[in-house]
Chains A and B, each alone.
Chain A
Amino acid sequence: MSFELNGKTYETDDDGYLVNLDEWTEDVGAHIAEMEGVEMTEAHWEVVNFLRGYYEEYNIAPAIKILIKEMKKMFGPEKGNSAYLYDLYPAGPALQACKIAGLPKPTGCV
């Protein structure tokens, strides 16, 4: 599978997750968000940027508890809770936000 944006073809896996992480740009993220029906606001980017930073360091997305805790540390308790994250990403912060951030789909017994 793949999608095209500004004349460039981006390869994705069967579920639409970007195959090559290095190809990610904010435009690509915004485009995936559009396909997901998510309208990106500053709050959405805060999550995406955190995920990308975490991935860069650890080569895996953070556990959901860590995401919540770190959001709380950085942006305060009103942003560090599960309801807030599900509000931003209705299909689930782990899956949908990772997809928009260009990270691979978390797999395993999760």
Chain B
Amino acid sequence: MADNEATVTEEEPKVLTDLEKVGEPAVPRKKPKDVHGDELTGSIKVPKVEENVANHKPYLCKPVTMEKLGFPADLREDWHDAAIAKMADLLKKYKSLQVYMDICVKCGSCTDKCHYFIGTQDGNNMPVARAELFRKVYRRYFTTEGKILGKLAGAERFDLDLLGEWYSYFHQCSQCRRCSVFCPYGIDTAEISMAAREIMDHIGVGQKYTNDIIAKVHDVGNNLGMNPKALKATLESTEEDLEEETGQKIRLPLDEVGAEVLMVTPSADFFASPHVESLLGYAKVFHQAGISWTFSSAASEAGNFGMFIGNYSHMQKLASRVNDAIREIKPRRLVVGECGHAWRVAYSFWNTIIGPFDTLDPKYKRPQHICEFTLDLVKNGGIKLDKSQNDHLVPTMHDSCNVARGARMGDKPGGQFTIPRELIKASCNRYVDMDQDTIMEKTFCCGGGGGLLTDDLLELRVQGAMPRMQAFSKVQETHGANFIALICAICKAQFTKILPKYGVSMEVAGGVHQLIANAIELGAKQ
């Protein structure tokens, strides 16, 4: 008899709760080291559609955090009724959502426009199919034909399996809105995915990454959880680095009352690479232009994940920190750093939810993007750039989805495309654009936007980055492109992690103000 026989104990199969069933992916998540990129062919491949498998799901948010955010700790017992009631509430509040439910004619324009569909080949990642998960519930409970004819009218009862699909596919949408550019009716799938997440949070199904971060900002003030003491120490250490590099006392001021400019930037700029290289760029620009400025420990985060979960009250509460900072610092100008979704919130929402900014100087945009701010200085001679400092680089611009399709910049339409490009061209001798179908308003998401920048979705992130990587590999071959210029903290973190999976060095990703930091001429003005 084998020795080990006696020690074998039958492990009881784990019984999953309803909530765990919703959160469990169809296939086990891979460890980050086991995730690999697709082979790059230089042209975006047309996917063959695979079965809908719901094999990507992010971790569920823990009960303690759910409660902190005012959501139910666990899946509500009456979750079905509560979900339908919340849907009724949203349909009433947002007429756009009601229109998006009714107006789709299934023309198919959107089907192959989503980077996650192209990358995963999962049929449910076609934007129309993703929205259909929402629509079939809508039809069942809110349309006469759906109530009477049920499945014949494309209506379906909201059950636990369908909720599991919601959890999977509304977390495989980065809310980038590329599909809406191609929709003849302008249906905004991002808004549908935000509504779906809002409904799920209200019945006790939250996503860990986004909700943990929102809770952290409420508690500590920024996505990183960096308290004011740590922020101060980090900025001081960065000042030391700047002095060592330039021989000049270039400051990174914090909480300086009366500064001309209040700078609000993603907290990743203080902490991570390559983000911090852009932080050095901002500091050098303010220093050389001689404009007093400050960060604020009250508003040490530009990002606002309230948007990702479609929850306007959290979005407003997060944004109100900026008002706290304005009251405290009393600046004349408000400038926002390199952060894609933050700029959408700042440009498109701030004035409504926390404005008007009456105490700020109306001569300037309230708020203003750092790229506008710096380009103005380049144009009026406030700073000078030595392009030759970037001669080792051939940059290309990756437009961030939320800047490209959710906001504008400067005075002219399309300023969000031209201003960063003008800035890059002012700091570099060489520049190349990627394929026209993959930039500006047709830009592809980096693959990590919309609250999906988490390791439990790493495989999805790698798949979703594929269209962008193919467009990049083309200009790499044809023009020797070796720098992807970014204006978003999420894009920076995503590319730094994803590029090596495609055999590209992580140093290829960097900020627009990283290029400015290289090129700016410091010292006495001539």
Seen from chain A, the residues whose Cβ lies within 8 Å of a Cβ on chain B are: 14-15, 58-60, 62-66, 69, 91, 106-110
Contacts and interface: CB of A to CB of B under 8 A. Distances in A.
Contacts of B88: none
Given A107-B212, A108-B271, A66 B224 contact: no
Nearest to B341: A109
B519 interface: no
A88 B244 CA distance: 27
A65 B233 contact: no
Name the prevailing secondary structure of the A interface residues.
loop
B33 A109 contact: no
A58 B233 contact: yes
A69 to B, nearest CB: 7
A65 B213 contact: no
B229 A108 contact: no
A84 B270 CA distance: 23
Given A64-B272, A107-B216, A69 B237 contact: yes
Contacts of A69: 237, 240-241
Interface string B205-231: 000110011001000001111110110
Contacts of B227: 58-60
A81 B240 CA distance: 17
B375 interface: no
A60 B230 contact: yes
Contacts of B490: 109
Nearest to B454: A107
Contact of A110 (B216, B234, B271, B339): B271
B238 A65 contact: yes
A14 B241 CA distance: 36
Nearest to A104: B225
Contacts of B270: 63
B135 to A, nearest CB: 32
B32 A108 contact: no
Interface in B381-421: none
Interface in B260-278: 266-268, 270-273, 275-276
B358 to A, nearest CB: 31
Nearest to A105: B455
B142 interface: no
Instruction: Please give me the 10 A-B residue pairs with the lowest Cβ-Cβ distance, nearest first.
Output: A108-B223, A109-B489, A58-B230, A110-B272, A109-B268, A108-B224, A63-B271, A14-B59, A109-B490, A60-B230
Contact of B222 (A15, A63, A65, A108): A108
A59 B59 CA distance: 25
Interface in B235-269: 237-238, 240-241, 266-268
A110 B493 contact: yes
Contacts of B237: 63, 65-66, 69
Contacts of A106: 224, 271
A53 B276 CA distance: 23
Contacts of A14: 59, 208, 456
B234 A109 contact: no
Given A58-B233, A91-B32, A109-B493, A65 B241 contact: yes
Nearest to B230: A58
Contacts of B240: 69
Interface string B99-122: 000000000000000000000000
